[in-house]
Amino acid sequence: MSAGATVARRNTLGRALLYAVLAVFAILYLMPLYVMLVTSFKPLEEIHQGNMLALPDTWTFAPWREAWGSACIGLECSGVHGYFFNSIKIVVPAVLISGLLGAFNGYVLTKWRFRGHKIVFGLILFSCFIPFQIILLPMARVLGILHIANSTTGLVLVHIVYGIGFTTLFFRNFYESFPDELVRAAKLDGAGFFTIFFRILLPASVPIIVVTIIWQFTNVWNDFLFGVSFTSGDSAPITVALNNLVNSSTGVKAYNVNMAAAMVAAVPTLIVYILAGKYFLRGLMSGSVKG
């Protein structure tokens, strides 16, 4: 009885310690976000008083309005909204196309195996390990030849090419544990190559589709290097615009506007995580399709 009580007490103590550590780390991680948020709602004078952690005395949306619609980036003073839509224009087709191609690759590499499928997969996998910097010059040349340099279309192509390695890896591993018998059953039922993919495999791939969307979305959205290398002027994505905004402000630094712009740049990935995060973990953990 008393031994049981001791064990129970030790258990609660351990729990408390565990939660304390977790709380510390959570605060550490959330601190920058908090500072960004409060700063973006403060007037500039209040920021100059120096208390970074304090809540705003007077709340203002002016920095957000300015960041969105009138802040100067280079010579143009119309905020980040144009670049925000550039990023949307890049990220949507890049994610969809690279995801679909990856799914297709995974399907063929697991369910329609051909001689040398392992080598092909190895080569695709290898592309995941190629550092960004190496492909900058050759890619610039290719975009030039295709006449899509300095355009969002060009950037879409770059992200598709770079993303296929990862999306193929995700889908191949997922479909590897997808029962072959389902494909065989569908073949006997008279379904062909595409019907099997679109009617049987794809609808059962929600977890890995979510993983792929989150992965590709955050990578493409947060990309800076490709954006800054292959676009210029008003075809730039928001990450590049944000950098230019922060660097091009002369005189007094408008921290609140910068923070608001940074928040604008960060919000889409946050939303994607919040909406799909639950599936993300589930997708990473569950390899198999049951039922």
Phi, psi torsion values for 54, nearest 5 degrees: -70, 150
189 binds other proteins (CB under 8 A): yes
Among 32, 50, 131, 291, binds other proteins (CB under 8 A): 291
Stretch in the footprint of other proteins (CB under 8 A) among 130-138, 164-172, 192-200, 227-235: 192-200
279 binds other proteins (CB under 8 A): no
CB of 201 to other proteins, least distance (A): 9
289 binds other proteins (CB under 8 A): yes
Three-class DSSP category at 236: coil
Torsion of CA 57, 35, 258, 94, to 10 degrees: -140
Nearer to other proteins, 7 or 188 (CB): 188
Nearer to other proteins, 157 or 201 (CB): 201
Q: At what angle do helices 132-145 and 152-176 cross, to 10 degrees?
A: 120
185 binds other proteins (CB under 8 A): yes
Among 91, 149, 158, 200, binds other proteins (CB under 8 A): 200
What residues contact 258, with CB distance under 8 A and at least 6 apart? Answer: 67, 245, 246, 249
199 binds other proteins (CB under 8 A): yes
Phi, psi torsion values for 76, nearest 5 degrees: -90, 130
287 binds other proteins (CB under 8 A): no
Residue 231 CA to residue 119 CA, distance in Å, equals 35
Exposure of 77 by Cβ count < 10 A (0-12 exposed, 13-18 middle, 19+ buried)? exposed
Nearer to other proteins, 268 or 283 (CB): 283
191 binds other proteins (CB under 8 A): yes
The token pair at 266 is 């960060």
CB of 207 to other proteins, least distance (A): 12
288 binds other proteins (CB under 8 A): no
CB of 192 to other proteins, least distance (A): 8
Nearer to other proteins, 92 or 185 (CB): 185
Secondary structure, 3-state, 143-180: HHHCCCCCCHHHHHHHHHHHHHHHHHHHHHHHHHCCCH
Number of residues located near other proteins, criterion CB under 8 A = 19
CA distances from 24 to 10, 52, 215, 274 (A): 21, 19, 27, 22
Nearer to other proteins, 100 or 125 (CB): 100
Binding mask 145-184 for other proteins (x = CB under 8 A): ----------------------------------x-xx-x
Residue 80 CA to residue 261 CA, distance in Å, equals 7
Q: Is the CB of residue 200 less than 8 Å from the CB of residue 150?
A: no
Exposure of 133 by Cβ count < 10 A (0-12 exposed, 13-18 middle, 19+ buried)? exposed
282 binds other proteins (CB under 8 A): no
Among 3, 188, 274, 285, binds other proteins (CB under 8 A): 188
Residue 104 CA to residue 117 CA, distance in Å, equals 14
117 binds other proteins (CB under 8 A): no
190 binds other proteins (CB under 8 A): yes
Positions that interact with other proteins (CB under 8 A)? 179, 181-182, 184-191, 195, 199-200, 203-204, 289-291
